[in-house]
Structure 1
Amino acid sequence: MTSCTHRSAIHTVTPKTFGCEECLEIGQAWFHLRLCRTCGHVGCCDQSIGRHATAHFHETEHPIIEGYDPPEGWGWCFIDEIMVDLPDQTPQNGPIPRYY
């Protein structure tokens, strides 16, 4: 059985925005949100046009994201390509706009 080797990158974070940070800046719609559990960046999923959560991983190498709309309780490691059990769920700071 494969396990994630990047669990030390999972931190308690505060989401930086109420939606995908990059989509909000450019007025683009998103489908689902992902939260970086290293720094709190909020990006859109790979089903969204921008794929900003994956782009954030490639820019920063922060490996772990959390499903975040509403908090879904699952994690994903980009490096190991495996689901990750998170120690907690990140609460929402306020209403997250829906764009799908």
Structure 2
Amino acid sequence: MVVRTSGSAYNTWFDPEEVVLRRCFAVRVSPKTEWREDPRDVDCPDGFPLTFAPAPEPPRLPYEELRAKLPRVREGGRVDEAEVRRTLAALDPKPSPH
């Protein structure tokens, strides 16, 4: 993955013009990536950076329905997992919990 960064500053002592710096780094992302691996300087790709649409709103979770239907568990107690699964299936919440 190439990460493009940019910044700007003014050097009023020598030049009143704004200085813009753009740098790109290659970062390897994989299950085998080592911690603290240093990114490498690379040439920046041509064109504009990628843009993405805003993330969608999270779906409404049926808190009230779940609280009313799911069994209460005492502190240190246990609950029957099969019963919880049956209750969730009967409520048919969208999206379904995993």
TM-score, length-normalised on structure 2? 0.22
User: Which structure has the larger Rg over C-alpha atoms?
Assistant: 2
Higher relative contact order (CA 8 A, sep 6+): 1
